Structure 1
């Protein structure tokens, strides 16, 4: 079982958010993500019923790099501009082709408010 990495995220409201992660084996070799999907949710608290933000391979906010073991998170500027919350918690899960789920990362997420706007 893989222990989730601690990942603190900071989103700048009104700016494009990009973050690249790399999943490596204990001997520093990339984990093959071919055929996998990924999902991530941000919630105000772990117990909160509603997600504040969702990223997934299905909605285009997560891209997996196959044999390179990369996980790219992407949130467009329009979406970050519409954020009305200041922080929360998240986790990032990889779903393998056979259905096994690995929690790759978990942690907090904060939003830096935008000053320059229309």
Structure 2
């Protein structure tokens, strides 16, 4: 069963978060993540994966971590009205044999950037 998490992301700032997996070895896995305005939105607002380097997996003994980095340029490019944008997100893991699982999902709040260039 997937675990639910809430995230708060500041627009225009680099965003980092780690998800820990106790007694879980994710060696050889890949991961992908998407943020959408709502569950039925056809296009993601943000995405990250081990292929693009925004998600990284590390194994530390019997435990593992998924580390997310959203560069400031990605969040700055999202246009929205009001002070906050509510989104939904999910992470999928793909095993070395191709099995897919969804260990994490949740909501994310993108808070509008006040300081702008120019």
TM-score by length of 2: 0.88
Secondary structure of the equivalent of 2:74? helix
- 1:95 CA displacement: 0.6
Provide the residue aligned with 1:13 in structure 2: 11
Provide the residue aligned with 2:113 in structure 1: 114
In structure 1, distance between residues paired with 2:79 and 2:53: 22
Superposed structure 1 runs of 4+ greater than 3 Å apart: none
Q: Which moved more, 1:66-75 or 1:38-47?
A: 66-75
In structure 2, distance between residues paired with 1:46 and 1:92: 13
Question: How many correspondences in the alignment?
Answer: 111
In structure 2, distance between residues paired with 1:96 and 1:87: 30
- 1:87 CA displacement: 2.1
Q: For residues 59-81 of structure 1, give each alpha carbon's deviation from its aligned partner in whole angstroms, at most 9, with x where no partner exists.
A: 11100003440000001111121
CA RMSD for the aligned pairs?
1.2
TM-score by length of 1: 0.88
Provide the residue aligned with 2:21 in structure 1: 23
Higher strand share: 2
CA contact (8 A) 2:37 2:87 kept: yes
Secondary structure of the equivalent of 2:73? helix
In structure 1, distance between residues paired with 2:76 and 2:29: 30
In structure 2, distance between residues paired with 1:23 and 1:57: 17
In structure 2, distance between residues paired with 1:56 and 1:103: 14
Secondary structure of the equivalent of 1:80? helix
